[in-house]
Amino acid sequence: MEKDADGFYDTPKLEASAPLAQAESKGTKEEEQPEPIPSSSSRTDLISSTFEVTVTLADQQADPNSPLFSAKTFEELGLHQDLLKGLYDLGFSKPSKIQERALPLLLANPPQNMIGQSQSGTGKTAAFVLTMLSRVDFSKNKTQALCLAPSRELARQIMSVVVAMGKFTPVQTEYAIKDNLPKGTSRITAHIVVGTPGTMTDLLRRKVIDTSEVKVFVLDEADNMLDQDGLGDQTLRVKNLIPRTGVQIILFSATFPDHVRNFASKFAPSANKIELQREELSVEGIRQFYMDCRNEEHKYDILVSLYQLLTIGQSIIFCQHRHTADRISQRMSAEGHKVASLHGAKDAAERDAIIDNFREGRDKVLITTNVIARGIDIMQVNMVVNYDLPLMNERGNQHSHDARPDVETYIHRIGRTGRFGRKGISINFVHDRQTWSQMEEIEKTLGKKIIRIETNDLEEMEEKMKKALK
């Protein structure tokens, strides 16, 4: 698995001076999504499918068993008028379960720490962003909230939510991601700073950020941020550079494997906890499939034969290594298919352009590594392919014969589809006894059937997929 300066999730190395990325406002209603302009017949389809999505979302938010359910309104959660305006402007009408449960605890005084878990795509970001925005005293030009994420792509996305939800407040924001600040910046006074741990540590050490007024510290994807095999060391360094007392520590993730739970409890002492049972981890709307390929080369052929289906909506193809992502995308491009590839060896400006092109629907197929396995929220993604299954990040493990599957990363990867009540499908490619048993272990751990699709019957495949997406 890839590891570099920022740890498990790689960071760019070249010195590109990307301008401070303008936060993109993030619509939630289907009609606000940046779809290409449809032809008149597909426009009718779009309207009816928009209607269907809106209706099923309302149904799900009314179903007490759904993670999107809430019995309350945003008004009842004690949010400031300006933040309510921001929420309604984004098209949020009702809180999801995690928002309803977490927000009253997060906003209570005196502030209490939180360890919050909820399935992928259920609205955790709003819970911690609204907390940061609620706790900031806008009359002070001082940094008061820090938020860390495992990748620059996720940090940029979180920032877009801060800006959109804070649209009716005077919030000032700044990034702590590589190659983003103008050279020679010696002082940051923005209320909220969002970044990755390597750059954040650097800014704190050099006292570019004054921490004396910091009162909220958020870790998104907290299990990865605290994991010794992930970004644990770097995150701890950041914590050691902020005040020891008076800071509310907020940890959120869809997964908290046992080996980080204890550390999380020490990192955020006496935290309120919202936890999921193992069987609750997978998202109902994501149908999981697998394809039995003959060998590595056959995996490539199958991926190419899937191209039509991959581009019905948008798709993310996950590989274990950067070189695989590059090789597949070069081959597919040479054969006339439009695909993009994104991984941590690319420089900052390139990474930003690739994810923005994909987010805005200009590219429909993104071939990548675990760098964007977590957090990335693009509603139109209705298919995820595990070209390689995710494997545990143990030294040498990837090459050994008993390499274990990384079930947490699997949950995050497939969670790039099926966002906030949408339907999505995932397809695992298995090609030998080892990958077969790795997939079996994932299936057993999650208690969810992974259904076979024949590799030689494209029509059947298409039928099954269309049915799953209905």
Ligand X SMILES: Nc1ncnc2c1ncn2[C@@H]1O[C@H](COP(=O)(O)OP(=O)(O)OP(=O)(O)O)[C@@H](O)[C@H]1O
Task: Determine the Cα–Cα distance for residues 172 and 332; give it in Å rounded to an integer.
Answer: 43
Stretch that binds ligand X, among 95-103, 315-323, 363-371, 428-436 (CB under 6 A): 95-103
Q: Is 195 in the site for ligand X (CB under 6 A)?
A: no
Task: Determine the Cα–Cα distance for residues 320 and 323; give it in Å rounded to an integer.
Answer: 9
Closest CA to 147 of 209, 96, 67, 74: 209
Stretch that binds ligand X, among 257-265, 287-295, 373-381, 450-458 (CB under 6 A): 373-381
In the list 12, 150, 197, 375, the residue contacting ligand X (rule: CB under 6 A) is: 375
**Residue closer to ligand X, measured from CB, 118 or 201:** 118
Closest distance between ligand X and the C-beta of residue 431, in Å?
Answer: 28
Measure the CA dihedral 322/323/325/327, to 10°. 170
Q: How far apart are the first and last CA of the chain?
A: 35
**Residue closer to ligand X, measured from CB, 122 or 455:** 122
Identify whether the C-beta of residue 306 lies closer than 8 Å to the C-beta of residue 289.
no
**Binding positions for ligand X, 380-439, rule CB under 6 A:** 415, 419-420
**Binding positions for ligand X, 102-161, rule CB under 6 A:** 118, 120-126
The SS3 assignment for 316 reads strand
Q: What binding mask, one character per residue, do residues 245-284 give for ligand X by CB under 6 A, x or -? A: ---------x------------------------------
How many other C-beta atoms lie within 10 A of the C-beta of residue 42?
13
Closest distance between ligand X and the C-beta of residue 254, in Å?
Answer: 4
Q: What is the CA radius of gyration of the chain?
A: 21
The SS3 assignment for 359 reads helix
Closest distance between ligand X and the C-beta of residue 369, in Å?
Answer: 17
In the list 11, 66, 96, 234, the residue contacting ligand X (rule: CB under 6 A) is: 96
Task: Determine the Cα–Cα distance for residues 278 and 94; give it in Å rounded to an integer.
Answer: 26
Task: Determine the Cα–Cα distance for residues 92 and 165; give it in Å rounded to an integer.
Answer: 10
Q: What binding mask, one character per residue, do residues 28-47 give for ligand X by CB under 6 A, x or -? A: x-------------------
Q: Is 7 in the site for ligand X (CB under 6 A)?
A: no
Closest CA to 427 of 323, 320, 292: 292
Residues that bind ligand X (CB under 6 A): 26, 28, 92, 94-96, 99, 118, 120-126, 254, 375, 377, 379, 415, 419-420
